[in-house]
Structure 1
Amino acid sequence: MDKKICSVSIIIALFSASSVLAEDEFAYRATPVANQISDLIDDDRDGVINARDICPDTPENAFIDNDGCEEYLDQEENLELKILFEHNSAQISPAFLGEISTMAEFLEKYPETSVELQGHTSVVGDADYNLKLSESRALEVQKELVSSGVSMSRVRIVGYGEAKVVDGNDSPVSHAVNRRVVARVVGYDKDIIEEWTIFSKRRK
């Protein structure tokens, strides 16, 4: 047999064999379909995927823990109210309306708080009468707060009469400072701890 013809026959045979082998190895394999069970998306862009994020609405730039929850700093703010009254009177002087307005704004800022208005009198007069007078003074302040938009349910009144004087001296000045309504409110607020991350610069 001619050597050229023999070489061509061998090449054709090898090519045919390789074609069969390639077809046998790859042609019948279907394209694999991914079966992704966990949610790998990070909707709030805090670096924790949805599948592990138990706080899905984390504020932007917040410092977060491994569960994707923001961390806070607790803050406390105090406000004291002190209103003085004339002798044998429950009428609020216009000079103290600004203090009541400030208290109303404070309660609006901290809607989870409530206030107790404590009414007092001096030791002048009958003790039973003074007890009722102290309640009337606290009630007038309550009415003013409610008219400023504070819910009645958030304002409690209590009258102490002459039981808790702040100045026990028998003088006009001492009696004046004892005729009062006082209150102290503590409001709590939280600020997130902020942290710069690579997610802070790029929006979705």
Structure 2
Amino acid sequence: MKLKTLTIAIALAATSASTFAADKEEGFYIGAFGDYYDASWKNMRDQAGLDVNESTGWGVEAGYRFSDYWSARLEYADMDFNAFDKVAGNRNNIDGERYGIDALYHLDGGPFYGLFGIKEIDVVDDNTFLNAGVGYQHFITDGLFVNAETAVYQGLDRGYTDVGAKIGINYLFGQNSAPVEQVKPAPEVVEVAVAPADSDNDNIADTDDKCPNTPMTDAVDGTGCTLYEDKEVTVSLLVTFPNNASAVSTQYLNDIEKVSAFLKEYPDTTVLLEGHTSAVGKATYNKWLSKKRADAVAKQLVADGIAEDRITTVGLGEERLKNDANTKAANAENRRVEAHIKTIKNVKVLR
């Protein structure tokens, strides 16, 4: 129950509205603390039948703050253990001592810290422990602070696993608690140059800005006007056909409409539609069939509003096979109309 109360106290301290995170100068500190230690030592080897339980006590410590993040301390605690003698059948108190050294790491230089160390506890016999825990500091002034912490102790001699907690008050020497008041000289009057006006915030003064309302997103040249760069834009088309057919399947209408939209957006562009066939059949017939396929796609573009003089068709027959294999799949791949259109677009350079 006492350990639970101390743990709650640490939690309340950690959630306090006022925390301390200011930089700390190097310096020594000393302090005193109240101590609680929960032990469960059965049949102590130097006194058979003796069980040692919890302890309350007090202690002192001295340490050194190396930086915002690290400090180390020496600790001594006077302990009063509750013990039960199973042979005599009675309870009594046994005095003990704890002393050792800890290293503390202050998280982000703030009030919370982790600790680890080594301790010697002398009660009935000596036992060495490694300990690790967490704590919280609250500075009342630049030097005076209170702290609360809890730790787990692991015995090296007998394998005991214990828990302890303490609340203390300390003083850190060497801190500047109050700044030295200095007489300030009269302020020097300095003439400050006024920056020229830049209404559109493009780093070009209004007096030199030939484009005074340039959008904030645009990069500008030395006269304050938007910079442009050439960018290549392209669109491609691929329409395939069944064997010995030239009618355009409805599945390609959306692709043809995209080409129409591109031609409308860039009215100076033209398109070359190349018709192709597989290697099956006579070459002269394939030439004629491939041209007919290209003309069928051109007719669809004209229907979408593209002028005929912007469209050129050519029938290449079986001259440019995509797949040289003599298979059904290869022949289907070769029966096609292709187009590749590109142009240069003048686009804004962004900041």
The reply on whether 1:176 has 2:332 as its aligned counterpart is yes
CA distance in 2, matches of 1:90, 1:71: 48
- Corresponding residue of 2:245: 89
AA at the equivalent of 1:130 = N
Q: State the 1:78 CA deviation.
A: 1.9
SS of 2:320's equivalent in the other structure is coil
Structure 1: 5+ residue stretches without partners:
1-45, 196-204
The reply on whether 1:109 has 2:265 as its aligned counterpart is yes
Please tell me whether the aligned partners of residues 214 and 224 of structure 2 are also in contact (alpha carbons under 8 angstroms): no
CA distance in 2, matches of 1:127, 1:58: 63
**TM-score of the two chains, using structure 1 as the length reference:** 0.63
What are the equivalent positions in structure 2 for 1:62-73 lying under 5 Å apart? Answer: 62-66=218-222, 70-73=226-229
The reply on whether 1:151 has 2:307 as its aligned counterpart is yes
CA distance in 2, matches of 1:175, 1:57: 62
CA distance in 1, matches of 2:288, 2:212: 52
Q: State the 1:59 CA deviation.
A: 6.2
- Corresponding residue of 1:79: 235
Which ranges of 4 or more aligned residues in structure 1 deviate by more than 3 Å? 46-49, 56-70
CA distance in 2, matches of 1:48, 1:156: 52
Structure 2: 5+ residue stretches without partners:
1-201
Distance 1:85 1:192, change over 3 A: same
Distance 1:70 1:57, change over 3 A: same
Please tell me whether the aligned partners of residues 58 and 70 of structure 1 are also in contact (alpha carbons under 8 angstroms): no
CA distance in 1, matches of 2:244, 2:310: 27
- Corresponding residue of 2:292: 136
CA distance in 2, matches of 1:89, 1:134: 9
Distance 1:64 1:160, change over 3 A: same
SS of 1:167's equivalent in the other structure is coil
Question: Given the alignment, which residue of 237, 246, 255 partners 1:99?
Answer: 255
Question: Given the alignment, which residue of 291, 310, 319 partners 1:163?
Answer: 319
- The more displaced of 135-144 and 97-106 is 97-106
SS of 2:230's equivalent in the other structure is strand
Instruction: Name the one with the larger strand percent.
Output: 2
Distance 1:57 1:159, change over 3 A: farther
CA distance in 1, matches of 2:331, 2:349: 49
Residues 169-196 of structure 1: CA distance to partner in whole angstroms, max 9, x if unpaired?
111111111000001111332222356x
Q: State the 1:64 CA deviation.
A: 4.3
CA distance in 2, matches of 1:82, 1:170: 21
CA distance in 2, matches of 1:161, 1:144: 21
Q: State the 1:121 CA deviation.
A: 0.4
Of structures 1 and 2, the one scoring higher in RCO (CA 8 A, sep 6+) is 1
Largest Rg, 1 or 2: 2
CA distance in 2, matches of 1:139, 1:103: 15
Please tell me whether the aligned partners of residues 212 and 224 of structure 2 are also in contact (alpha carbons under 8 angstroms): no
Q: State the 1:74 CA deviation.
A: 2.2
Identity, % of aligned pairs? 34
- The more displaced of 115-124 and 61-70 is 61-70
Instruction: Name the one with the larger helix percent.
Output: 1
Distance 1:69 1:125, change over 3 A: same
Indicate the RMSD between aligned Cα atoms, in angstroms. 2.8
AA at the equivalent of 1:142 = A
Please tell me whether the aligned partners of residues 135 and 160 of structure 1 are also in contact (alpha carbons under 8 angstroms): yes
Q: State the 1:77 CA deviation.
A: 2.2
SS of 2:341's equivalent in the other structure is strand
Residues 58-102 of structure 1: CA distance to partner in whole angstroms, max 9, x if unpaired?
965654445676421222222211000111111111111111111
Q: State the 1:57 CA deviation.
A: 11
CA distance in 1, matches of 2:250, 2:278: 21
CA distance in 2, matches of 1:85, 1:159: 14
Residues 20-72 of structure 1: CA distance to partner in whole angstroms, max 9, x if unpaired?
xxxxxxxxxxxxxxxxxxxxxxxxxx9799xx96xx89965654445676421
Please tell me whether the aligned partners of residues 232 and 344 of structure 2 are also in contact (alpha carbons under 8 angstroms): yes
SS of 2:261's equivalent in the other structure is helix
Aligned residues: 150
SS of 1:191's equivalent in the other structure is strand
